[in-house]
Amino acid sequence: MPPLLCIEGVHKSYGGRPALAALSLDVEGGEILGFIGPNGAGKTTTIKIVAGLAFADAGRVIVDGHRLEGHGPEARAARAALGLLPDRPYLYEKLTGREYVLFVAGLYGVEHAAAERHLAEMAARFRMGEYMDRPVESMSHGMKQKTALCAALVHQPPVFVCDEPLVGLDPHGAREFKALVLELKRAGRAVLMSSHTLALVEEICDRVAILHRGRLIAEGTVAEIRQRARLDGPLEEVFLEMTEEETATGAGD
């Protein structure tokens, strides 16, 4: 079967400065891909393009067999096949958490009863129950993050993309998030996870892709990347060594 998420030769520039250069990545069903890189590497740009929030200058993105391009039926099908948890969730502040999740469910055509069941399960799991009927504007950052997570998965998307998912979560929420992502993997879904928490990436990801200055500099299992870097330490040490080498190499270009 083809990968559930395909990023093929994507280029993106801002004001003549390249943000992404010929980026190609695949995420299979039943796989968690860790997407890491220094600040400014192009990770958030990639996620915006994958989610249809920005357009690539060249290349293509395919989500669950649907090409994400323009605003036609195929692009809408691609967007419907993806759930996004951004690093800074923007919610409708005047709605309650419940109203927001049900609003998103309606956009995806999810039946009300199914959306309510999903919300109840997630609220119990992430200890959100007493907050779901409060306005979003009264919530802490962590509770907003949990609400955004609930909304991102309300339509049961085959592809889940998350950017710094643990920011604002308490230890219980972080543990439940990891368990949830592993459940998505076992259910055959594809997960693209960007995070600076390299211990999390090393713990749950099947493969890792390292982006630096808009280019993919390494991809593979943690063991394969260690072998390439000729280091045996934790992923954090390998990451720092590889990105420092690339910076030093590029300094004279």
Supply the DSSP string of 78-111, one letter for each residue. Answer: HHHTEEEE-SS----TTSBHHHHHHHHHHHTT--
**110: β partners:** none
Please, are residues 27 and 191 in contact by the beta-carbon 8 Å criterion? yes
The pLDDT value given to residue 122? 97
CB 48 within 8 A of CB 54: yes
C-beta contacts of 17-25 below 8 A and 24+ residues apart: 18/214, 19/45, 19/214, 20/45, 20/46, 20/49, 20/56, 20/214, 21/214, 21/215, 22/59, 22/215, 23/59, 23/211, 23/214, 23/215, 23/216, 24/59, 24/216, 25/192, 25/209, 25/216, 25/219
CA 11 – CA 124 distance, rounded (Å): 42
Q: 163-180 pLDDT, tens per residue?
A: 999 988 999 999 999 999
* pLDDT given for residue 192 in this prediction: 98
CA dihedral 65, 68, 73, 78 (to 10 degrees): 50
**Domains defined along the chain, listed by start:** 5-81+158-251 (3.40.50.300), 95-156 (no CATH)
Residues 33, 204: Cα–Cα separation, whole Å? 9
Of the candidates 181, 186, 136, the residue with the CA atom closest to the CA atom of residue 161: 181
Q: What is the pTM of this model?
A: 0.92
Residue written as token pair 């211990």: 199
CB 161 within 8 A of CB 84: yes
Instruction: Look at residue 230 in the predicted model and tell me its pLDDT.
Output: 80
Residues of the chain below pLDDT 50: 250-253
* Residue 252: predicted pLDDT: 37
pLDDT of residue 251: 39
> What pLDDT is attached to residue 242?
86
Evaluate whether 87 touches 106 at the Cβ level (below 8 Å): no
Q: What is the predicted pLDDT for the residue at 247?
A: 54
* Residue whose tokens read 């399960």: 121
Report the pLDDT value the prediction gives residue 246, as an integer from 0 to 100.
57
Closest CA to 216 of 87, 58, 32, 34: 34
